[in-house]
C-alpha cells in the first residue's frame, strides 16, 4: 500500500544510509581501496541486532561483495572546480574541504 511505501522510504535512509551510494571498500583486506555501488541491504539480525547487517556492493570490476556497514565508506564526488584544483575525482565522506587547496 501507499502507506507502507511511505514508511519504507522513511526508514531505509536511517538504517541503510549507503543504499545506492558510491563507496570505497576498507575490509576485507584483499579488496581494500576498491570502489563500487551499494545495491542492497540485509538486516540479517533483524532490527534488534544491527551488528549482523550487511550491504551488497557491486564493485567497479563487476564482482559482487557483501560487507558490513563499518567496512565501507561513502565516496563524495568533488565539485568540478575542486577536482581540477586537487587533481582528484572524489574523496571519502567525512573529509574536510578545509584540507583542500583552493585557488582564488
Do residues 100 and 86 lie in contact, with contact meaning Cβ atoms separated by under 8 Å?
yes
Position 89 scores a pLDDT of 46
Position 80 scores a pLDDT of 54
CA distances from 20 to 23, 36, 97, 101 (A): 9, 10, 24, 29
Position 3 scores a pLDDT of 80
pLDDT along the chain (104 residues), means of 10: 79 89 95 96 84 95 96 81 47 41 41
Give the cell for residue 46: 533483524
Amino acid at each position: 500500500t501507499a502507506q507502507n511505501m511511505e514508511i519504507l522510504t522513511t526508514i531505509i535512509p536511517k538504517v541503510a544510509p549507503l543504499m545506492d551510494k558510491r563507496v570505497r571498500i576498507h575490509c576485507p583486506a584483499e579488496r581494500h581501496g576498491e570502489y563500487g555501488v551499494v545495491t542492497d541491504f540485509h538486516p540479517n539480525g533483524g532490527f534488534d541486532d544491527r551488528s549482523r547487517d550487511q550491504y551488497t556492493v557491486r564493485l567497479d570490476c563487476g564482482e559482487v561483495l557483501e560487507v558490513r556497514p563499518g567496512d565501507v565508506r561513502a565516496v563524495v564526488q568533488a565539485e568540478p572546480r575542486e577536482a581540477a584544483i586537487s587533481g582528484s575525482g572524489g574523496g571519502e565522506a567525512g573529509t574536510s574541504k578545509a584540507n583542500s587547496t583552493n585557488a582564488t
